Amino acid sequence: MACKSSGELNELLQSARRYTEKGKVADYIPALGKANRNELSIAIHYQNEECVSAGDIETKFTLQSVSKIISLAVALLDHGEEYVFSKVGMEPTGDPFNSIAKLESSVPSKPLNPMINAGALAVTNMIKGSHQSDKLVRLLQFVHDLTSNPYITYSVEVAESEFQTSNLNRSLCYFMKQHGIISGDVEELMQVYTKQCAIEMNCLDLARIGAVFAFNGMDPASKRQIIPPHIARICKTFMVTCGMYNASGEFAIKIGIPAKSGVSGAILCTVPGKYGIGIYGPALDSKGNSIAGIKLLELLSKRYNLSMF
Ligand code: GLU
């Protein structure tokens, strides 16, 4: 996909880039710790397939929690709302993304929403496929449809690094298995989940996904309806209410667009009816969001009046 570099966007990016110094790259997944914290890139994908970009756009990164929006869309396609929300709630939580606390205190004992790890693990468990490799193929196929890029795959290094270290996520799984939220083999689920989180792309691909959501599930270039509008609406609503960890409220006030971030420093944003934005900046703030990425979105939102509220 051709993407023009934009002087205007570059000017905003340069003002935001200095904030990378104040952030920290996630290293609880050891392979993520290798990222260069000074990097920052952005792409904007418009309806007519036009795309503008700035920064280190060649860099590939893993989706991490951004993949939770994609797996949620797939699970909703596979099972419908009633089944999915019988296992996972719809409410934001004030707890960290990997917390087990609310799982124990909620009645019934189900994860509060699909954007926290417990909820995302339950969602991945639902994706159709008799074996973990079928679920992964289904997820990757969906990503290929969303991006029109059939070459996207996952990073073996990052997936293995997370698989070997994610004992907290395993504990969430065993808790949920005991309470009938998930079924099957926990190690197999961890295999799919860690590969899903390790799906790798650049910010041009990410912007294209954002554009599909911006046009209610329709690929703006091919006009193909990839996600039914009601499922795109549910995903965007979760992006607003809990897409930016415990900073979702502040993000809604200051920036005001549906967005989902991941600990790799990726941010998927969608400006309804207008365009998709993909951002990558691995230096994170204390809430786990790309510190310079948020700054850049603040500048963009102010300049172009992007808030939907
Ligand atoms: N794979 C990561 C985990 O489960 C995703 C976390 C995130 O990006 O918020 O810990």
- Determine the atom of ligand 1 nearest the C-alpha atom of 197: 1
Check pLDDT > 70 for residue 279: yes
| Amino acid 1: pLDDT | 54
Retrieve residue 91's tokens: 């409410």
Query: 241 near 286, Cβ under 8 Å?
Result: no
Check pLDDT > 70 for residue 271: yes
Q: What is the CATH number of the domain that holds 92?
A: 1.10.1500.10
Cβ of 155 closer than 6 Å to ligand 1, yes or no, is no
The boundaries of the domain holding residue 90 are 65-197
Atom 6 of ligand 1 has which residue's CA nearest to it? 65
**Are 193 and 72 within one domain?**
yes
Active site residues: 65, 68, 193, 245, 263
Average pLDDT over residues 2-30: 94
Q: How far apart are CA 13 and CA 289, in angstroms?
A: 16
Query: 243 near 294, Cβ under 8 Å?
Result: no
Q: Is 224 a domain residue?
A: no
Q: What's the number of domains the chain is made of?
A: 2
Could you read off the pLDDT of 136-170 as tens digits, one per residue?
Answer: 999 999 999 999 999 999 999 999 999 999 999 99
**Are 43 and 91 within one domain?**
no
Q: Is 106 a domain residue?
A: yes
Q: Is 309 a domain residue?
A: no
pTM above 0.75, yes or no: yes
Cβ of 259 closer than 6 Å to ligand 1, yes or no, is no
Retrieve residue 300's tokens: 């963009």
- 3-state percent breakdown (helix, strand, coil) of the chain, nearest 5: 50, 15, 35
- Region of poorest pLDDT, from 31-35, 46-50, 183-187: 46-50
The number of C-alpha atoms within 13 Å of 192 and in the hemisphere containing its C-beta is 29
| Amino acid 5: pLDDT | 87
- The answer for residues whose C-beta is within 8 angstroms of residue 204's C-beta and 6 or more apart is 1, 3, 43, 45, 51, 53, 57, 278
**Are 110 and 187 within one domain?**
yes
**Are 287 and 207 within one domain?**
yes
Q: Is 108 a domain residue?
A: yes
**Are 295 and 234 within one domain?**
yes
List, in sequence order, the alpha helices (H) in 60-181.
Answer: 67-87, 101-105, 117-126, 132-147, 156-165, 167-178
Summary mean pLDDT of the chain: 95
Q: What is the CATH number of the domain that holds 24?
A: 3.40.710.10
Check pLDDT > 90 for residue 55: yes
Distance 86 CA to ligand 1 centre (A): 23
**Are 73 and 180 within one domain?**
yes
